[in-house]
Structure 1
Amino acid sequence: MILTEKPSNIYTSTLRGNKRLAVFVLAILSFLTLSFFTFSKSSLGLNACGRTIRSLNEAVALSSSTGGNNQRAGGQAKFINLNDLEATANAKDQQEHVIILTPLKNAEAYLPRYFELIDRLSYPKDLISVAFLVSDTTDDTVSILREKADEFLNRQDPSQRYHEIAIYEKDFDFQLPEDKRHTFELQPLRRSFMARSRNYLLTAALREYHSWVLWLDVDVVEYPESILEDLQSVDVDVVVPNCLLETEDGSFWAYDKNNWQETEKSIEMQKDLDPEYVLLEGYYEFLTNRYLMVDMPTHLGKLEKVPLDGVGATFTLVKAQVHREGANFPPYVYQHQVETEGFAKMAKAMGFGVYGLPSYIIHHIRNS
């Protein structure tokens, strides 16, 4: 019989120890390999949807959209304290934002002078936003606006850049021959479409930081560079200067006859009118017996104000609060008025003050 010697206890212990070590090392290597491939897929090449991230910006966007920094998808609520928003007499010193609103249609001929004048304003440009609503246009209005917006927003001097310029386009399919746009019979319909245009522009462009809204006609051709500060200093809810017609000899000719006061005669006359009848100023077909601002004395102080019951919108400065609280431009008949004059009636019914400055003269181009 051949006897085989049984391994010693020392050898057996060593063999068992090596097996344990090998299993341990193999486990570590497996873990590292698995981690490497997992990390490569999730962080270096593929997002959760399996799409390759091709740029740092995409990576940042992915981080935000998947709730980076322990945020829930969708981000955080936006909190704005509108109690801190004011429109004051010293708006320039208080750094209050102004938005200039101008509705347009086939306006290419007027735009060079329009931009020249607003660029001449002494109010800080970084506190000025400009917004346009272009409707039913067949000329190059939109392309000119794009070109000027690019120029005004990208100037080398940051102090000469405007805060924001927005161009909106909304067609109403309303066509009216140029030589018919001021005829008496078509005014209620035309003014109704203008009201809709203004309301579209207002609701699209008004931001939470705007303190003042300036309604400016594209064909106003002359006003002082300090006009914003001047009108703000009057410190009323709605204020308009006296808009005259531009003449070669500088003679006094009225233009904006929508700035007016009611009189005893005009109020009495309205008692017998059909509620749907729209009153219009400056037409011989129907005399309203109102006191037009263009007929008021102009020798008083430049900032001497008078209360008004109706306003136009050649150059109308409004505290943004007036619009925010609901005063807009009625496209329907409101107290025998539509559009801008209806806005004035509505603002007054809400308790806001509406005023004009008979001695503060600006000029409008002569058109058909």
Structure 2
Amino acid sequence: MMLLSEKATNLYTSSLRGNRRLIVFIVAIISFITLSFFTLSKASFSLGGGGGCGRTIRSLNEAVAFSSSTGSSNSNGFFSIHRSGSSAGQAKFINLNDLEATANAKEEQQHVLILTPVKNAEAYLERYFELVDRLSYPKDLITMAFLVSDTTDNTVQILKDKADEFLNRPNPSERYHEIAIYEKDFNFQLPEDKRHTFELQPLRRSFMARSRNYLLTAALREYHSWVLWLDVDVVEYPETIVEDLQSVDVDVVVPNCLLQTEDGSFWAYDKNNWQETERSIELQKDLDPDYVLLEGYYEFLTNRYLMVDMPTHLGRFKKVPLDGVGATFTLVKAQVHREGANFPPYVFQHQVETEGFAKMAKAMGFGVYGLPGYLIYHIRNS
């Protein structure tokens, strides 16, 4: 009888210990599930964009994404993840199918990026900013970006001062979307009186191409629909020129850039805007593939039809197809650059830099046009 009682007691004790282990195991599982639920809930909240992230909204697309807390792509194709804490950041998805460059760019609030490479440009900057600032295109849709190279004057400081002025005006409608100043030296020095000599042009233009490509890749943002290449020493153009060129609705378009003269006489400046002719094409058949053709030099006549020699009385918006362009004032749909057309620093179809860009764009199937009757003016360089 005593043995049976002890056996029952031992069995009860063993069962109790087993139940305790089972209870502990069950409690552990419940705790794990509860912790996982709260962790996933927090992640879902972050995925939806809830909670403060302490970021500064710097663009229209970011503002749209920040205001949407759906946790999925919205009508703008923008999806964002916000993480709280000291390592806050944002991953984003942008549907570039919705990014367009159209003839009604101003009404459709399309962003324009103005790109200007500069070197020792302090003498030209006052007029440059005066002209840009009087443009009728909305300032909050304009970004300006500069690449300063091998400069020894006060160009950088002037750019900084102007940027501070233009970005901090009391009236918000007079502030520009963004102004960026980049500096990249190529250690290429050329005396001013030698910058247009025939023999040095291929080398000079190659470095200019590198400068443009640096500026383009540094400044182009996902919300830019148009890219405007603008020389710092262009001294006169209409205030409506951006909308005017956009209204032509082609991939690449240039006005006719003349030399500013005291008596208002007609003198060509930008001779890099041209059409191939039967004679120029025939001439190229016998050229070495690495030979660079240059316009406006008596040392080697190309037999091309320059836009500065075309009729100007047919109206400002009479467009003509071109095979080469300069970049005194060149408006490009941003898609052209995004798809890979840039400024070759190497010989491409006997051209480099801007003319090489036109050749490349045409080889990719884009349209390149000029407006012989739309006149702008460039200062006479030394």
TM-score bracket, normalised by the shorter chain, equals: 0.7 to 0.9
Counterpart of 2:343 (choices 292, 316, 329) is 329
Equivalent of residue 168 in structure 2, options 154, 169, 191:
154
1:290 partner letter: R
- Code of the aligned partner of 1:121: L
The one-letter amino acid of 1:203's match is: T
Partner of 2:211: 197
Partner in structure 1 of residue 100 of structure 2: 86
Corresponding residue of 1:45: none
Deviations 1:279-320 (A, max 9, x none): 000000000000000000000011110000000000000000
8 Å Cα contact 2:99-2:225 kept in structure 1? yes
Cα distance, 1:73 vs structure 2: 6.1
Instruction: Point out the structure with max Rg over C-alpha.
Output: 1
How many correspondences in the alignment?
A: 304
Segments of 5+ residues of structure 1 without an aligned counterpart are 1-58
Which of 250, 258, 264 does residue 264 from structure 2 map onto? Answer: 250
RMSD: 1.6
TM-score (norm 1): 0.81
How many angstroms does 1:74 deviate by? 6.0
On the 8 A contact 2:323/2:368 being kept in 1, the answer is yes
Distance of 1:311 and 1:155 partners within structure 2: 36
Cα deviation for residue 68 of structure 1 reads 3.6
Change (3 A) 1:135 1:288: same
Q: State the one-letter code of the partner of 1:307.
A: P
Q: CA 1:304–1:82 in 2, change beyond 3 Å: closer, same or farther?
A: same
State TM-score, norm by structure 2: 0.78
Mapping 1:158-177, distance limit 5 Å? 158-177=172-191
Q: State the shift of 1:77 in Å.
A: 2.4
1:138 counterpart = 2:152: yes
Q: Which runs of 5+ in 2 are unaligned?
A: 1-52, 56-81
Q: How far has the Cα of 1:75 moved from its partner?
A: 4.3
CA-to-partner distance for each residue in 1:78-137, whole Å, 9 max, x for gaps? 111111100000100000000000000000000000000000000000000000000000
Match of residue 303, structure 1, among 317, 322, 328: 317
Asked whether the 8 Å contact 2:83–2:90 carries over to 1, the reply is no
Query: Separation in 2 of the partners of 1:187 and 1:233?
Result: 34
Deviation digits for residues 35-60 of structure 1 (CA, Å, limit 9, x no counterpart) = xxxxxxxxxxxxxxxxxxxxxxxx96
Distance 2:195 2:293 in 1: 17
1:222 aligned onto 2:229: no
The separation in 1 between residues aligned to 2:134 and 2:90, in whole angstroms, is 40
From 330, 339, 345, the equivalent of 2:353 is 339
Residue from 371, 375, 382 that aligns with 1:357? 371
Q: 1:245 and 1:73 mapped to 2: Cα distance?
A: 54
Code of the residue aligned with 1:99 in structure 2: it is L
| Identical positions, percent | 87
Query: Which secondary structure does the structure 2 equivalent of 1:186 belong to?
Result: helix
From the superposition, tell whether residues 126 and 274 of structure 1 become closer, same or farther in structure 2 (CA, over 3 Å).
same
Q: Which amino acid aligns with 1:81?
A: N
In structure 2, relative to structure 1, the CA distance for the partners of 1:121 and 1:76 (3 Å cut) is closer
2-side partners of 1:60 and 1:182: how far apart?
A: 52
Distance 2:300 2:348 in 1: 18
Pick from 204, 217, 241 the counterpart of residue 255 of structure 2: 241
2:323, 2:359 within 8 Å by CA — same for their partners in 1? yes
Change (3 A) 1:67 1:167: closer
Distance, in Å, in 1 between the alignment partners of 2:224 and 2:129 is 21
SS at match of 1:94: coil
Measure the CA separation in 2 of the matches of 1:278 and 1:100: 28
Distance (Å, rounded) in 2 between the aligned partners of 1:246 and 1:209: 35
Residue matched to 1:116: 130
**3-state secondary structure, aligned to 1:167:** strand
What letter corresponds to residue 245 of structure 1 in structure 2?
A: L
CA shift at 1:200, angstroms? 0.1
Cα distance in 1 for partners of 2:364, 2:300 equals: 28
* SS of residue matched to 2:250: coil
In structure 2, give the amino acid aligned to 1:322.
V
Deviation digits for residues 222-267 of structure 1, max 9, x if unmatched?
Answer: 0000000000000000000000000000000000000000000000
The code of the aligned residue for 1:153 comes to: L
CA distance, structure 2, for counterparts of residue 129 and residue 92 of structure 1: 14
Partner of 2:196: 182
